[in-house]
Amino acid sequence: MAVGYRELAEVLREGILRGDYSAGETLPKQEEIAVQYGVNIKTVRQAVRLLEAEGLVTPVRRRGTVVRERPPMKRLGVERYAKSKWKFGLVAFAADREASGRTWSPTDQTQTVRMVEADAEVAEAFDLPGGAQVYERARIVKEGDSPTHTLTSYYRPEDVQGTPLVDPTPGPAGRGGGFAVLTLQGLEPDSMTETIHSRMPTPDESEMLGLPAGEPVVILQRRTFTREGRLVEFARGVHAASRFAWSYTFKIPD
C-alpha cells in the first residue's frame, strides 16, 4: 500500500506519543525518513508540516525537527487563589509552580504599568463612562527563559493610586501580591468569576510567548469582587496552551 503524507504523519505521531522520540530529541533527517518508509521527500515534508501544525514538533535552525517538550504545568483552579496562600505571601503563579514541583523566583514576573483609557470591555466591567481612565498592569510570566503566559489587570485609579500595584518593579506587588495590596486598601477580594476560551494567537502573542506554529492560546477573563460585590480587578490573560494543565477541585452542588 502506498504511503501518503497523512499515513506517514500517523506513524511518526504514534512514535512520538509512544516515546520512541523523546521530548527535545531530533527526528531523523527527512532524507532518512524518506528512505525508511519508501516515500519521496515531498511526502516527508508534508507529514512533518502536519505534525508542526498539531504542536508535536517544531523546526529548530541547525538542528532539524525537534519533538516539543510537553510537561504541562498544573494550573490550580480555586486553590490557587486561597486566602491562606496570598495572605501568607504566596502569589497565584507561584502556587501553580509549587503544586507542579517547579521552582520559581519573584523576577519570573515582569510588568509595565500605565494609565490608559478603558476599552469597551473594561468600561463595561467597572460600569465606567466612555473615555474613563484606569490603571493597566501588564505582566509577562516566565519559567526559566520561556514565557508561559501574560496577565493584564485593570483597576480604578482611586483603588490603587500610590500602592505597589502601580510599581513597575519586576516581581509580585509585594508579599502576597495584588490581592494582599487590595486587602490593605480595604478592598479584600472575596469572590471571582473566571471565563476561559481558546483561539489561535495573534502574531504579537506568538512572538511574545515564543509559540511554535500551530499552537493555540487559552484566553482567561477574570473579575474579582469584594464581599459587598464591588469589582476591584478586571484581568485578561493569554496562556500558551501546551504549557498548562488546568485543574479544578470543587464540591458538587446539590
Cβ contact 166:137 at 8 Å = yes
> Can you point out the beta strands (E) in 7-165?
57-60, 64-67, 73-75, 109-117, 133-143, 146-155
Task: Give pLDDT, residue 2.
Answer: 57
Residues of the chain falling short of pLDDT 50 = 1
How far is residue 8's CA from residue 51's CA, in Å, rounded to a whole number? 10
The region that residue 124 occupies, defined by phi over 0 for left and psi between -120 and 50 for alpha, beta otherwise, is alpha
User: What global pTM score does this model have?
Assistant: 0.80
pLDDT of residue 70: 67
228-231 long-range contacts (CB < 8 A, ≥24 apart) are: 230/187, 231/125, 231/126, 231/127
Confidence (pLDDT) at 71? 62
Of 73, 75, 9, nearest to 44 by C-alpha is 9
Residues 115, 118, 121, 126, CA torsion sign = positive
CB 215 within 8 A of CB 240: yes
What pLDDT shows up at residue 137?
Answer: 96
> Please, what is the Cα angle at 230 between 228 and 236, to 5 degrees?
135
